[in-house]
Structure 1
């Protein structure tokens, strides 16, 4: 993966380059799944966090949990979650927009004073398409998409995952990119496209 490809993964719809990682340990909580699936989702998050050489924690001193993952059947269900409208600004209009678009997933990020990721909310509507995806694949996909602030279209044309035999795995180059982005020498947030050159250089070291 060269610098141009990396740049595309972090270039927003408005043309701005923005690469941001978590600035604090990740504390996940998952809603709307059975215990077995809960362990699968948390296991996928832990695997990706470990890959990034980042940390998880039992609690976030400010929010309690800072990564909230919701699984549901209808977007309207989010409007019934107590106090969610306090955590996600403009929840009502957002739900209406996602209903109109017939979206099946959406992520909301919150940032700290340095613009590193402080919290994230992951919404997954289990429509017919996602219902056919096995839990391990779905969980790994969501974990990858929340470990960094990717472009909105980062994985539209090509998934971050690949099939190896009968197992779904993270594409090696995406794994290497995640590890590179969490190199402590690099800033937690970068808005200059030349950051992609620094990531590409480090990917050669970690692949």
Structure 2
């Protein structure tokens, strides 16, 4: 059974390691593209994104009128591969130093967001390095985990100690408390971006409403 959410839980989801409360959600339909996987896995990843979009009550689109696609998901075996992607350096500032940091940390995932003038998410670049322990994780678990984390600007410490997913006999699902936060965060009454921790109380009120 999932433990009941508290306002402190929600504040923690969006409070960064430096103590700043930073929240943002997508401010436009999500138009995804996936690189580096076979067709079967491609459908799993896109299905996971659609699942999270439905939970949030948000929208998907074939294309973004400004960017073409706005959620790019890359699967790779070595971080150095990023340096070979054409024009990626135009999308990810200081790409060389970022790759060096990822190599030094032996990281398995990285996300970079871009924002519009209102502070809402307008693009997300998700990178997943396979190999090692990641090769033992089922594709649907990886896909759904990445989809959840692309839906909101979660804290850089969120989900570092526990997964946003739960397990069922039919496969992974988004954890009930995380799903409730997703739904609440996309309530159109709430702003697309927030820096005041009082925002967490507004999310809490909607996440726990019957």
Is 1:45 aligned to 2:49, yes or no? yes
Determine the C-alpha separation between the residues in 1 that align with 2:103 and 2:208.
42
Offset at 1:89?
1.2
Q: 2:131 aligns with which of 114, 127, 134?
A: 127
Is 1:83 aligned to 2:87, yes or no? yes
Report SS of the residue matched to 1:97.
helix
Q: 1:15 aligns with which of 19, 43, 58?
A: 19
Determine the C-alpha separation between the residues in 1 that align with 2:169 and 2:78.
34
Report SS of the residue matched to 1:64.
coil
Q: For residue 28 of structure 1, what is the aligned residue in structure 2?
A: 32
Q: Which stretches in structure 1 are left out of the alignment for 5+ residues?
A: none
Question: TM-score w.r.t. structure 2 length?
Answer: 0.96
Offset at 1:205?
2.2
Q: Which runs of 4+ in 1 moved over 6 A?
A: none
Offset at 1:168?
1.6
Q: For residue 157 of structure 2, what is the aligned residue in structure 1?
A: 153
Offset at 1:190?
1.0
Residue by residue over 1:36-94, the C-alpha shift from the partner in whole angstroms, topping out at 9 and shown as x without a partner, is 00000001001101110101111111110000000000000111111111111111110
**Which runs of structure 2 are paired with 1:71-110 in the superposition (5 Å)?**
71-110=75-114
Q: Which stretches in structure 2 are left out of the alignment for 5+ residues?
A: none
Q: 2:207 aligns with which of 193, 199, 203?
A: 203
The RMSD of aligned alpha carbons is: 1.0
Determine the C-alpha separation between the residues in 1 that align with 2:128 and 2:161.
20
Determine the C-alpha separation between the residues in 1 that align with 2:150 and 2:102.
19
Offset at 1:166?
5.5
Aligned length: 206
Is 1:168 aligned to 2:172, yes or no? yes
Residue by residue over 1:122-157, the C-alpha shift from the partner in whole angstroms, topping out at 9 and shown as x without a partner, is 000002111111111110000000100000111112
Is 1:138 aligned to 2:142, yes or no? yes
Question: TM-score w.r.t. structure 1 length?
Answer: 0.97
